Amino acid sequence: MRYVAAYMLASLGSKSEPSAADIEKILSSVGIDAESDKISKVISELKGKKLEEVIEEGSKKLASVPSGGGAVAAPAAGGGAPAGGAEVKEEKKEEKKEESEESDDDMGFGLFD
């Protein structure tokens, strides 16, 4: 993705077809070591194409990709007592608390250590 972004930046800088040197210069300016095979791949894929048309084509393809959240599960039907529901909520809160503590352990340090 960084190579495509550098290509786009170079093309915005009034270069209709950026060279490998242009892309490498942009990437090195932000401390990224550019791989020549990836640069040549991006250049060969976009050679002779108008960037605006490529973006428009990609936008059409992305429009067909589902990007919504999953459906929420409905509670079980039945004559359950309200007290049972309260217990479930408490358990969920405890689970969330435990998950946040575990994430601190994964990082190797805690906020207040």
Which pLDDT value is given to residue 99? Answer: 53
What pLDDT sits at residue 41?
92
pLDDT at 97: 55
pTM above 0.75, yes or no: no
Q: pLDDT, tens digit, for every residue of 9-23?
A: 888 876 778 889 998
> For position 112, what pLDDT does the model report?
65
Which pLDDT value is given to residue 12? 85
Instruction: Give the per-residue pLDDT at 38.
Output: 92
Question: Quick one: pLDDT band at residue 37, thresholds 50, 70, 90?
Answer: very high
Q: How distant, in Å, are the alpha carbons of 4, 62, 97 from that of 55?
A: 11, 10, 43
Predicted pLDDT at 67: 76
Specify the CATH number for 2-61; select among 3.30.365.10, 1.10.10.1410, 1.10.1660.10, 3.40.50.2300. 1.10.10.1410
54-104 per-position pLDDT tens digit: 889 988 888 888 877 655 555 566 555 555 555 555 555 555 555 555 554
Domain boundaries, the chain: 2-61
Residue 91, pLDDT score = 58
How many residues does this entry show for the chain? 113
